[in-house]
Amino acid sequence: MDNVILSLILLVPLAGAALILLLPERGKLPAWIALLDSLLTFLCTLHLPAHFAGGRGGFQFEENVLWLSHPRISYHLGVDGLSLWLVVLVGLLAPVGVVASWKTIGSRSKVFYALFLLQQTAMVGVFVSLDLMLYYGFWELSLIPIVILTAMFGRNLGESSAVKAALRFFLYTFIPSAPLLVALLWLYAHTGSFDYTTLQAAIASGSLPARQLGWVSVAFLLAFAVKVPVLGLHGWLADTFSEAPVAIAMIAAGKLGLYSLIRFHVALFPALAREAAPWMIGFAVVGILYGALLALVQKDFWKLLAYATLSSLSFCTLGIYGFTISGMNGALLQTVNEGIIGAALFLMFGVLFDSRRTSQLGEFGGVAQKAPRLAALFVIASLALIGLPLLNGFVGEFLVLAGTFNGVSKGWAAVAALGVIFSAAYMLRMIQMVFLGEPTANSHGHAVRELSWRETVTVGGLAVLMLAIGVMPTVWTSTMEPALQSAFKVSSAENAVPAAAESGAGMMHAMGESR
């Protein structure tokens, strides 16, 4: 089982997509198949943490089959502490996405769910590929469903704005992937391999021409930074959030880019990544503030969510490029958190939007009276995003800030901490406008509907997870840390992990135990 589980996780959604395409579109049949299939995939992904040998670095559940002999590309899969929880996260978010689309996707649901499941395969593929060409394949493949589904099922149906958003998203991510492919080809031309560990060793040995290698690492960095997105490259974010169907928007940002930054930039080019670190920290800190300040003044909740996401993703970037174990740990955990919280918020925003056909904050008010369950769950998710202790957002942000404070600079940490305060301001302002006060008369006269039982169960489950991660962070971070340690071991032969970082990690352990 252990040696085919990753292929199984890739194949189950693909088989589900094929099944949906083959069966007729009758009522909710495609949606049911997608739901059952994604739950099955989720069960498969749970096999990974259940059988994961914790406490050691290196890859597990490996599969390595030669795909093409010339050029040498292998079907090489594997999971370590870095990717373990991200794979589970993708597994978790797929059923959430299906539930979020349950009421909004009417006609052509076959196409929607088939592409949605294809997207899941592509995303899992990105997290488990250890051959860079295979990784690139999944990376590119993951663009296609997002783009087509945005154009086809864009929220403002039939408007050209959906197509513009889809095009913009695609070009933003596809054009930087051209230099990425050139960089990959260059590495192949100089090493004769696309294998992750081989390349890592070759780069660490210092035998490659240094000047060109610098450009190669820049190409990698650029491609991933767009996908996160890092400040300055976030032009696609607000549009995609406003136009894409909820199930797609909730997976478009964050984890793919952040994971790739850690795995294929920091761990692959440790020395060069350190040179880029001051820049990235600068972008991250400014991004935290910029996103938070813009979120504070948005009138449209999709846009608000986009800038809030930019701000909290910048926290992750900050953690990664602080080069401290605690910061990286926090960034990785925060990536997972961001996925969970974002999914919950997106689902609930989707309900609000569908019942009123508007995303203007000013058009809402007093929703708490009409839909108490929605309001309660929304407040929990918002508090998690703000970083209230005992909820998951707190642990991630704390680790990042602690790492930055001890390992990078006290000043940067202090400035970044301002972002936490702002996040409380914009989220609470929104809750006040939408959920509190008197119910306002809506110009269309539509009432806000309460969450259905299916949605309540889903968001409730996510809320439980937020609490679980917040209360017992070590359960999750204990598997991440060895992977980060071993990534660092290769990466910092000449430059040991700062002692301060170790103390940050120790602090986290103490924190986990004290609870």
How far is the C-alpha of 68 from the C-alpha of 139, rounded, in Å? 19
CB of 147 or CB of 367, closer to another protein: 147
CB of 136 or CB of 302, closer to another protein: 136
Judged by DSSP in three states, 194 sits in: coil
Identify the residue among 57, 137, 282, 461 touching another protein (CB under 8 A). 137
Angle, alpha carbons 17-20-24 (nearest 5°): 160
Identify the residue among 62, 140, 450, 502 touching another protein (CB under 8 A). 140
Identify the residue among 49, 54, 57, 179 touching another protein (CB under 8 A). 179
CA dist list (Å): 100 to 281, 423, 456: 35, 25, 11
CA dist list (Å): 6 to 15, 47, 397, 424: 14, 10, 31, 39
How far is the C-alpha of 99 from the C-alpha of 102, rounded, in Å? 5
How far is the C-alpha of 422 from the C-alpha of 311, rounded, in Å? 10
CA dist list (Å): 147 to 110, 136, 175, 351: 16, 17, 14, 22
CB of 174 or CB of 353, closer to another protein: 174
Identify the residue among 111, 126, 285, 318 touching another protein (CB under 8 A). 111
Alpha-carbon radius of gyration of the chain: 22
Bond into 439 cis (ω within 30): no
Q: Least distance to another protein from the beta carbon of 144, Å?
A: 6
Strands (E), 80-216: none
Site for another protein in 198-257 (CB under 8 A): 212
How far is the C-alpha of 227 from the C-alpha of 261, rounded, in Å? 10
Handedness of CA 397, 398, 403, 404 (dihedral sign): positive
CB of 36 or CB of 178, closer to another protein: 178
Identify the residue among 162, 408, 459, 487 touching another protein (CB under 8 A). 162
Q: Does 157 engage in binding with another protein (CB under 8 A)? A: yes
Contact window for another protein (CB under 8 A) among 177-185, 344-352, 435-443, 480-488: 177-185
Q: Least distance to another protein from the beta carbon of 235, Å?
A: 15
Q: Least distance to another protein from the beta carbon of 16, Å?
A: 17
CB 63 within 8 A of CB 3: yes
Identify the residue among 166, 348, 434, 448 touching another protein (CB under 8 A). 166
Binding mask 67-96 for another protein (x = CB under 8 A): -xxxx-------------------------
CB of 199 or CB of 285, closer to another protein: 199
Binding mask 16-45 for another protein (x = CB under 8 A): ------------------------------
Residues lying near another protein in the complex (CB under 8 A): 68-71, 107-108, 110-111, 136-138, 140-141, 143-144, 147-148, 151-152, 157-158, 162-163, 166-167, 170-171, 174-175, 177-179, 181-182, 185-186, 188-189, 212
